[in-house]
Copies of this chain bind each other. A is one copy, B any other.
């Protein structure tokens, strides 16, 4: 039987975050002490560790919910799990491509910025005039 703070420490999660996960139905409602405090089983620790690890891998809570559903129904096809992970990989790769374009552009801006005052600043100039941009960074983050 674990208190919420213990669970938090062992998984590197904030206490409020655990309560939030419970609230949105990602973690089951645990038992309570007579005084009303949550007491967790070790299975809850595993489940939370799963969630945190998936979050670290960039999965959204919605994707994690799907993964947990699949995990709770072990007879279903691995292909569904594979699909979710694959989708996630594509998203990660797309983000990398975009960030690399940003890095190129920022580096170029900085390389060319060697003047003394803001009025000659290449960085601001590039920001003012998109057409001075080499990188084809799209919209969104």
When all copies of this chain in the complex are counted, the total is: 2
Residues of chain A in range 99-141 having any CB-CB distance to chain B below 8 Å: 99-100, 102-103, 105-107, 109-110, 113, 115-121, 123-124, 127-128, 130, 133, 137-139, 141
Q: Is the CB of B92 within 8 A of A124?
A: no
- Minimum distance in angstroms from A2 CB to a CB of chain B: 18
Interface core residue of A86, A88, A110, A124 (most chain B CB under 10 Å) = A124
Additional 14 contacts, C-beta under 8 A, given A54-B127, A89-B107: A12-B139, A53-B130, A67-B124, A70-B118, A70-B124, A76-B118, A78-B116, A78-B121, A81-B118, A81-B121, A85-B106, A85-B110, A96-B99, A99-B99
